[in-house]
Amino acid sequence: MTGREVQEIRRFNRFYTNLIGALDYGRHLYTPYTLTEARVLYEIAHAQRVDAADLRLSLSLDAGYLSRLLARFEESELITRGPSERDGRRQRITLTGRGRATADLLEDRSRDSAGTLLNRLSGPDRARLTESMATIRELLGEAGERPEPVLRLRGPDPGDLGWMVQRNAVLYAREYGFDLSYEALVARIVAEYAERYDPRWDRTWIAELDGERVGAVMCVRGGLEAAPEETDGASPHTARLRLLLVEPEARGHGAGRALVSACVDFARETGYRELVLWTNSVLSSARVLYERAGFELTAEKPHHSFGQELVGQDWRLPL
C-alpha cells in the first residue's frame, strides 16, 4: 500500500460525498430527512421482517442514536413498534401507510438523482461508470452480496388467479384490517374476469422477482359508468384497472410501477379512450403510483366497507 493509493481513496471519498450531497444533513434528496434517516427507512421498507437490533448491526449505528431516530419516526407516524415474533425481548419495526409512502418518495427521488447523473454521460461513458462501480463493490463489498433481483411481468398461469384472491385477502387484512367481505369482493372480481375474459380487451399481469410471485394487476372492459356497447361485444371506450397488488418485500423494486405501466400501455394500444380505477384513500402508496402514471382524482365519497370507515376514490386517465 502506497501513500498515493491512500490519497486517491480519500480524494474519491470527498468527491463522491459532495456529489451525492451526503453532507447536506437537513436536505437529503430535497426532503426533511437526513441520509441516515433515509437509509433506515430504506432498510425497513426492503426487509420482510426487521428488528431494531438488526438495524443497529447492519448499519453500524449507535444504539442510543437509533432509538432516538425510531422514536421520531414513531411520533411522525412513519412506523409502529411492537414485540418481535422471533424474540419478545426485541422490537419489531413496521412501516405505516404514511411511512411506506415516504420510503417510496425517497426511493423515487434517489432513482431520479442517479438518472440525472447518468444523463450527463454518453452511452459508452455510462457503461464505463457502472462497470467501475460494480468493480468497487466486488472488491470492497461483503462476501456473498446479493445482486439486484430480476423483475419480470408475465401472463397468468393456472392457479395465479386464486393466488391473487388469497394474497389480497391476507395483505389487506394485515395492513388495513379489512374483514372477510373484502375477500368475497376480490373473489367475485376474479371469477367475473375468468368468466367474461376476452383477449381483445382484457389482460392480467403477474410480477415476479427472481421467479417468485410478488404482484399482480388486471385491465378489464367497462368503467365506472360503462356504456351498453362496452358489454355487448362492440369496441369499448373505457377500461378499468383492478386489484393492483405488490407484496411488502417487493416494494421499492419497481414492481408496482411496472404493473401500472403495463396496464396503461395495454389500454392505450388496445384503443380504449380512458382508463379508470376505484380505490380507497388509505392506500397511500398506490396513490403515488397512480399520480405518477398521470391519473387524476375525480371524486371521493366516505363509505363503511370491509369492516372499516373508508373514503372511496375514483381516478381517471384519458388515453
pLDDT digits (tens, 9 = 90+) for 165-178: 999 999 999 889 99
Q: Are residues 166 and 299 in the same domain?
A: yes
Cβ atoms 149, 210 nearer than 8 A: yes
pLDDT band for position 227 (cuts 50, 70, 90): very low
Does the residue 174 lie in any domain?
yes
Q: Are residues 40 and 136 in the same domain?
A: yes
Spatial strand order in the sheet of 308-318: 151-154, 203-209, 212-221, 238-246, 274-280, 308-318, 296-305
Does the residue 211 lie in any domain?
yes
Helix (H), strand (E), coil (C) string for 37-74: HHHHHHHHHHCCCCEHHHHHHHHCCCHHHHHHHHHHHH
Cβ atoms 293, 274 nearer than 8 A: no
Q: What pLDDT was estimated at residue 22? A: 52
H or E stretch covering 199? none
CATH number at residue 60: 1.10.10.10
Q: What pLDDT was estimated at residue 160? A: 95
Say yes or no to pLDDT of 6 above 80.
Answer: no
Alpha-helical runs (H) found in the chain: 3-20, 35-46, 52-59, 63-75, 97-119, 123-140, 160-176, 180-196, 255-270, 284-293
Q: Are residues 156 and 136 in the same domain?
A: no
Number of domains in the chain: 2
Beta-sheet pairing, 238-246 with 274-280: parallel
Burial of 90 (0-12, 13-18, 19+ CB in 10 A): middle
Q: Are residues 65 and 171 in the same domain?
A: no
C-alpha triplet 284, 289, 292: angle, nearest 5°: 125
Task: Tell me how far apart the alpha carbons of residues 214 and 93 are, in angstroms, rounded to a whole number.
Answer: 21
Q: Are residues 136 and 181 in the same domain?
A: no
Which amino acid, residue 310? L
Q: Are residues 135 and 284 in the same domain?
A: no
Task: Tell me how far apart the alpha carbons of residues 63 and 36 are, in angstroms, rounded to a whole number.
Answer: 14
Alpha-helical runs (H) found in 197-246: none
Say yes or no to pLDDT of 258 above 90.
Answer: yes
Long-range CB contacts (< 8 A, 24+ apart) of 195-200?
196/220, 196/221, 200/270
Region for 233 from its dihedrals, namely left if φ exceeds 0, alpha if ψ lies in -120 to 50, beta otherwise: left
Q: Are residues 227 and 249 in the same domain?
A: yes
H or E stretch covering 195? helix 180-196
Say yes or no to pLDDT of 134 above 80.
Answer: no
Does the residue 24 lie in any domain?
yes
Q: Are residues 44 and 161 in the same domain?
A: no
CATH number at residue 198: 3.40.630.30
pTM, full prediction? 0.56
pLDDT tens-digit readout, 16-67: 777 666 544 445 555 677 778 888 888 888 776 677 777 887 777 888 888 8
Does the residue 145 lie in any domain?
no
The angle that helices 35-46 and 97-119 make with each other, rounded to 10 degrees, is 110
Q: What pLDDT was estimated at residue 117? A: 78
CA end-to-end span of the chain: 61
Comparing C-alpha atoms, which of 280, 275, 60 is closest to residue 177? Answer: 280
Q: What pLDDT was estimated at residue 223? A: 53
Domain range for 290 is 151-318
| Backbone φ, ψ for residue 216 (5° rounding) | -165, 160
pLDDT band for position 102 (cuts 50, 70, 90): confident
pLDDT band for position 206 (cuts 50, 70, 90): very high
Q: Are residues 289 and 195 in the same domain?
A: yes
Does the residue 228 lie in any domain?
yes
Task: Tell me how far apart the alpha carbons of residues 304 and 74 are, in angstroms, rounded to a whole number.
Answer: 28
Does the residue 146 lie in any domain?
no
Q: Are residues 46 and 118 in the same domain?
A: yes
Q: Last residue of a domain, which of 97, 112, 140?
A: 140
Task: Tell me how far apart the alpha carbons of residues 266 and 272 are, in angstroms, rounded to a whole number.
Answer: 9
Task: Tell me how far apart the alpha carbons of residues 1 and 8 are, in angstroms, rounded to a whole number.
Answer: 12
Beta-sheet pairing, 91-95 with 151-154: unpaired
Q: Are residues 191 and 266 in the same domain?
A: yes
* 9-23, 141-155, 226-240: segment of lowest average pLDDT: 226-240
H or E stretch covering 241? strand 238-246
